[in-house]
Every structure is written in C-alpha cells, then in structure tokens.
C-alpha cells in the first residue's frame, strides 16, 4: 500500500486541452481552469475499447501479486473509470462493483478469446448488475471502505457545486456569483454546496436506466423549470429559477447555453408573467403593479410565455388576464381588470395646445416674481390672477362638452372627491343656485403636482421650468429666521398634547428635510410648503382633501392631514388678496379645483340674497369653509396666541359670507385674465368649437395623439 503513491508519480501527467496545463494523473479536473479530464486520458490507449476489457473484468479477478499494478485496477461498467482493487464502489459514479460467483469466474467460456456475442452479453450483464446492486447490501470490509472514501474525497473535492439560494442553479465551486441570476455566493464553506451523499444520489439518478425503468428516471429535480417569486420587501417580484442540467464535457456548448438563458432573462417581461401568476394564485398586488406601469389588460399569452411559466394546466396560449380571472374565479381581480379595460383618454389641457403661448405665459409669470426686502425676504407675485374655465364651454354641443371634460378633467379625482366621500360639490345651493361647482383639472403625476396645481389654479400652466419651486426653496432658505419659529411653534402643539417634547437637534433635522425637499425637483412636498406657497402667491389656499390615505385595496394607511386653510399669516393683511384658490388632495396627489367662469352676478343672485352681491366688476364664485358635516375647516400653523380665534382670523384674511342655507363661504373673485392666458384659452377652445357633433366620435381617436401632456394621471 505504501508503494502506490510512488508508482503513480512515475506515470506521465495529462495535459489539459483548454489551458494546456499538465496535471497529476489522479486529478479529475484541471487545476487552473477546472476543465474536466478528457475521457481518453482516463483509460490507457490500449484499453479504450470497453468490449475488449469487459470479458477480462467479468471472468478474471486480479491476483494478489498484481494488486499494486495500475493495470489491475477494475473498470466501472457504467463510466469506465479505473478504480483501485479494494474499492467496492466506483469513485466517479458510485456504482457498486460487481461480485462474481465462483462458478462464473471458473467458467471456461469466459476467456478473452470469446465470440463477439459473448462480449455483448457481458456488457449487458454489467449494466444490469449496476441496477441490481443498488438494492443489495454492501459486502465491503472496513479497509475497503477506507480506500473507497479516500478516493471519493479526492475526486469530489473539486466536483462539489454550490446551489444558488435565489434560483437554485448549481454553480462550480470557484464561481463567486451565480451564472444565471448573478446572486453572490453564500458565505461559509458549506453554504449552498451539495453534500457527497446528495451528489452521489444525483449521479445515480442521472445514469441511463434499463428498459422498463424510464418512467422513474424522468421525474428528476434537475429538469429545467421556471419559478416566479414575489418579493414584498423590495417589490422585486420577478426572478428566474433554473435548475442545473447534466454536466457537459464541452465547455463551449455550456457557455452558449448560459448566454441564451441570460438573454432570455433580460428580454422577458417579468411584470406581465408575475401578473399572470398573481391572478392564478389570488394575489392582486402583481396585477396592480403591472397596470400601474402601463400594462395592457388585453395582452395575450404567447408560446414563450407559457413555456416560461411552466404550468400547462393553468396557462394556455391566447389567454388574457381576464380569461385567467374568470377561469380561477378571482372576482376582485376581474373587477379591477374590467375597470381598466377601457382605453386611456389622451389629455388635452390648455397649456399643451399652443406651446408658444404657454411658454409666453410662463415667462410672464416669472417676471411677476419679486423678493421683498427687509426682515422677511420672501418671494411674492405682484399680479392678481385666478384661473377659471371659460363660460363658452356651456354653448358647445353636449357630445362636444363630454369630450372636452374627458380630455381636461381627472375623472378619478372628481369621483373620489364627489362620490366616494362628499368633499366638494356636496351642496346643491352652491353648485346649482350659485353656479360654484368645482372641477378637478388633470395634473401631472410627478412629485411636482403641488406646484403644478397651484399654477394651474392661478395661471393655467404647469411648473415645467421649476420657477415656482426655486422661489419656494429660496424663500425657505433666506427667510428661515422667520419661517422656522412658526414651524416649530405650530408643530410643538401636537406633541404637547401627547405629553412629550422634541430636542433641538430633532427640530433642526426636520427643518433640514423640509429645505431639502423644496430644492429637489420631483420630490413630494409637505404641509409647511403649502403654508409658504400661500405667502408667495399672497392669498389663502384652501385644500379639500381626503382625511385618510388608503391603499389600492381600500385599506387605511394613515392620516393625511392636508385638508384645511393655509393663510399668509406672516404678511400684513393689507399686502395680500382675500380671494383664495382651491386645491384637491387624493392619496398623495394634488389637483387644481377651478370653477366655470360665471356670466353675470345679478343673473345668479336674486333679491332674496342681498348679502352676496358684489360691488366691483369681477365675477364671484363661492368656496365652502365648512365640511359636509358642517364642521369648520382647520386652520394650519397657528401660534399659541391665535388659537381659539379661528373664526375671527378667517374673516380677517378671507372675504366671508353666509348663504341662505347657512353655509359659511369665501368669495373667490375672478378678475380679467392677462393677455397671454386669454390667448392660450382661446386657442384651446377653438379646437372644440370646430368639432361638429356628428364628427365627435370619429375624430376622437385620430386627434387623441395630437396633444399629450408628459405624465399620466394617478
């Protein structure tokens, strides 16, 4: 036994065909590139024909004198690997060594000079003996097991693969990342690796089975399949899982297969596939994610989609999400899909009809901004403008009016503020008698929706140049010595009610967050930004919004806190206008609420309401200062001295009055439009004036792509 390593060292090294490195004879893989040892190097050149050596193996046991010779190693019937004489199992495929009976070994017909028929029968017997030996008990001695385990540890040390935790692909030991999904290799020596027992079991199941046993061998874990995972934490709900295929000796073909698999991963629409799986599993969240990213509910499954999903019993070619929802009786998903089945309407707002005119309006607004000198260096506008829809809309045909409102308004916001919870237009006296119905204009769904809605309610444009955002950021930064004490005092009132206080570092950190949000375009703004906007616009801002923020499923997520009245309390009352603007808030989105310009005040108000008459030339609309439950809207950012005097402060900063029905309202005076705004509205209205009622339906689809705003409605 001690002379065996010396004899092996005398043998010639084998050369790797990939990197030409010379390896030791017992190395099964190349030390440099891990390429497997070529099959022609395993068996000597004079013994490569298995049919020549099979009778010798079957009929003759090696003698004790030649055990130390390498030519007396026994050849595995399955993989032709040369094993040591005392090994009871094949080191490569763990196939049991065939034990010959004395009568068979002494048979004269088992000589090397037997006929070809005898050679073929001996090979078949070797294959059959492998499967019969799996169920038989082992007859090895402790010394045989020692040599067998030693050879196995040497051969499997470089063959044990590690399994990816994300897609379960079996990678080579030197791979630091998964070749399929690029997931890093788990830390630890044994993390994700295949044990010797599982490796041997896989090798046994991967060997060819005899006739009659193919049904059991086809159910293998290593068949290619696709697994779709929903990750609730990071919302990465599309990952590919591919089980490892059998080991291929041709590395070029293996790399080519992996490249094709990676390309298929990149080109696959995982939002669409996870939405299909979500319908089958009853999970509505992937469907919502698919629709929110502009997915088509009428999209059909293709052959490649069905093969990737790997569930023929659930998915068929040509099926849509609606088909799957009906098939698996997902009523909630079906209702959602039917609600989104109608094609989206292209939005046509006045600022996008005439680009040159809207650019002139933005330049005009930028020239109206000034910064006040003194202790409170806040920016402000010096021109009074209120945006209202032209009264000529009511002269259009009903079909043309319906199309105009579909392309101008945000129907979802209008429905949520009117029907789901009575927040606006809840009084017939205001909507019918006083013609003060509010309409929610469509707005971009970016993080600038607050600034866009404020400019829409005043000038009818979007803040595409970030002029208003820059004025807001500069006002907060340069006038922080006045704004920060007001913010701190107002925000301290609520913690005091809960009997806890914040330290100065926490207040400084919160104020830094407010300044940072104002300087970043696309960042969502908070309540104090609305309070600062009221000072820039020099008028009150009334926000009609939902009280609670809800999810897509209708679950309450938290308190909104945006509804209320924001007054420019840091200015002098004589420096500001008492005519407010109205904004709507629905689940993280702001919209401008504007009325239709009234034709005449005297035509709307009779002699029974003399207190509502207006003495100037401007038209008036009426905004309620109470909720549908007749509760006063909250006033934000009041100081301790102003608490308890809400009614007095409201009448000081707003032109208030009470209707015959006892509703406290604020007068919104609509003055003469600036010339660029009037020209922009006239160009926008001319498009609908030229549409005849008979051609409304025909021209709707063709004109839907003429004008489009950037962004979609929430």
Angstrom distance (rounded) from CA 484 to CA 513: 12
Question: Residue 659 has which token pair?
Answer: 């209707």
Q: Which residues contact 406 (CB under 8 A, 6 or more apart)?
A: 345
- Three-class secondary structure of residue 536 per DSSP: helix
* DSSP output for 443-510: ---STTHHHHHHHHHHTS---TT-HHHHHHHHHHHHTHHHHHHHHHHHHHHHHHHTT----HHHHHHH
Question: Residue 440 has which token pair?
Answer: 């929610």
The terminus-to-terminus CA distance of the chain in angstroms comes to 80
Q: Which of 16, 93, 378, 449 is catalytic?
A: 449
Q: Which residues contact 122 (CB under 8 A, 6 or more apart)?
A: 54, 55, 58, 110
Give the H/E segment covering residue 57: helix 50-59
Question: Residue 639 has which token pair?
Answer: 């100081």
Q: How many residues does the chain have?
A: 714
Q: Which residues contact 629 (CB under 8 A, 6 or more apart)?
A: none
Angstrom distance (rounded) from CA 456 to CA 413: 16
Please tell me the number of Cα atoms within 13 Å of 173 on its side-chain side: 17
Tell me the sheet residues that pair with 75.
Answer: 82
Q: How far is CA 453 from CA 42, 103, 543, 594, in A?
A: 78, 99, 11, 10
User: Looking at residue 264, what DSSP letter applies?
Assistant: H
Tell me the sheet residues that pair with 29.
Answer: 36
Contact 652, 583 (CB under 8 A): no
Please tell me the number of Cα atoms within 13 Å of 343 on its side-chain side: 5
Neighbours of 211 (CB within 10 A): 5
Give the H/E segment covering residue 591: strand 590-594
Burial (Cβ within 10 Å: 0-12, 13-18, ≥19) of residue 387: buried
Q: Which of 93, 589, 621, 636 is catalytic?
A: 589
Q: How far is CA 206 from CA 89, 118, 203, 288, 558, in A?
A: 17, 28, 5, 43, 56
Closest CA to 652 of 671, 662, 638: 638
Q: Which residues contact 640 (CB under 8 A, 6 or more apart)?
A: 489, 493
Burial (Cβ within 10 Å: 0-12, 13-18, ≥19) of residue 125: middle
Active site residue 449: yes
Active site residue 589: yes
Could you list the active site residues? 449, 589
């Amino acid at each position: 036994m001690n002379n065996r390593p010396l004899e092996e060292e005398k043998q010639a090294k084998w050369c790797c065909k990939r990197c030409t490195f010379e390896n030791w004879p017992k190395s099964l893989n190349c030390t440099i590139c891990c390429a497997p040892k070529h099959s022609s190097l395993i068996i000597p050149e004079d013994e490569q024909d298995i049919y020549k050596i099979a009778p010798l193996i079957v009929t003759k046991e090696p003698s004790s004198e030649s055990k130390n010779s390498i030519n007396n190693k026994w050849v595995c019937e399955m993989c032709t690997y040369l094993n040591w004489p005392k090994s009871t199992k094949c080191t490569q495929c763990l196939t049991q060594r065939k034990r010959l009976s004395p009568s068979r070994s002494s048979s004269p017909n088992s000589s090397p000079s037997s006929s070809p028929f005898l050679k073929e029968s001996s090979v078949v017997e070797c294959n059959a003996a492998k499967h019969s030996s799996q169920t038989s008990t082992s007859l090895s001695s402790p010394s045989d097991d020692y040599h067998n385990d030693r050879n196995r540890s040497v051969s499997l040390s470089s063959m044990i693969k590690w399994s990816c935790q994300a897609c379960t692909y079996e990678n080579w030991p030197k791979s630091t990342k998964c070749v399929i999904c690029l997931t890093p290799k788990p830390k630890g020596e044994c993390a994700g690796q295949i044990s010797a027992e599982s490796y041997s079991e896989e090798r046994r199941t991967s060997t060819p089975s005899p006739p009659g046993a193919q049904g059991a061998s086809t159910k293998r874990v290593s068949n290619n399949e696709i697994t779709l995972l929903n990750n609730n934490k990071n919302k990465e709900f599309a990952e590919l899982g591919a089980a490892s295929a059998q080991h291929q000796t041709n590395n070029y073909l293996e790399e080519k297969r992996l490249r094709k698999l990676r390309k298929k991963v990149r080109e696959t629409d995982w939002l669409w596939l996870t939405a299909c799986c979500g319908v089958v599993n009853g999970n509505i969240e992937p469907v919502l994610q698919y629709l929110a990213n502009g997915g088509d509910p009428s999209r059909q499954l293709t052959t490649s989609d069905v093969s990737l999903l790997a569930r023929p019993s659930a998915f068929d070619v040509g099926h849509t999400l609606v088909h799957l929802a009906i098939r698996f009786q997902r009523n909630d998903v079906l209702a959602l899909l039917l609600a989104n089945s109608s094609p989206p309407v292209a939005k046509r707002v006045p600022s996008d009809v005439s680009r040159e005119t809207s650019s002139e309006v933005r330049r005009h607004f930028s020239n109206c901004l000034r910064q006040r000198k003194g202790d409170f260096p806040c920016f402000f506008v010096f021109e009074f403008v209120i945006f209202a829809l032209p009264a000529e809309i009511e002269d259009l045909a009903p079909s043309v009016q319906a199309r105009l409102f579909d392309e101008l308004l945000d129907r979802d916001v209008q429905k949520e503020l009117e029907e789901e919870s009575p927040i606006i237009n809840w009084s017939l006296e205001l909507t019918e008698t006083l013609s003060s119905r509010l309409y929610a204009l469509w707005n971009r769904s970016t993080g600038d929706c607050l600034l866009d809605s404020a400019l829409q309610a005043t000038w009818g444009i979007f803040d595409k140049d970030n002029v208003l955002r820059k004025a807001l950021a500069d006002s907060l930064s340069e006038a922080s010595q006045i704004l920060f004490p007001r913010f701190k005092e107002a925000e301290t009132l609520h913690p005091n009610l809960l009997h806890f206080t914040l330290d100065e570092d926490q207040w400084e950190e919160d104020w830094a967050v407010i300044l940072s949000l104002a300087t970043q375009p696309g960042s969502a703004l908070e309540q104090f930004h609305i309070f600062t906007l009221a000072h820039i616009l020099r008028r009150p801002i009334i926000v009609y919004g939902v009280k609670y923020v809800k999810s897509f499923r209708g679950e309450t997520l938290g308190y909104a806190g945006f509804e209320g009245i924001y007054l420019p309390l840091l200015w002098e009352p004589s420096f500001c206008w008492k005519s407010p603007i109205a904004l709507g808030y629905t689940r993280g989105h702001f919209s401008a609420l504007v009325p239709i310009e009234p034709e005449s005040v005297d035509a709307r108000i009779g002699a029974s309401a003399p207190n509502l008459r207006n003495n100037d030339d401007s038209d008036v609309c009426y905004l309620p200062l109470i909720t549908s439950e007749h509760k006063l809207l909250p006033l934000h950012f009041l100081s301790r001295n102003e608490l308890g005097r809400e009614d007095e402060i409201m009448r000081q900063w707003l032109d208030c009055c009470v209707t015959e029905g006892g509703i406290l309202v604020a007068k919104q005076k609509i003055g003469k439009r600036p010339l660029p705004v009037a020209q922009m509205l006239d160009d926008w209205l001319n498009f609908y004036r030229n549409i005849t009622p008979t051609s409304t339906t025909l021209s709707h689809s063709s004109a839907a792509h003429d004008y489009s705003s950037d962004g979609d409605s929430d």
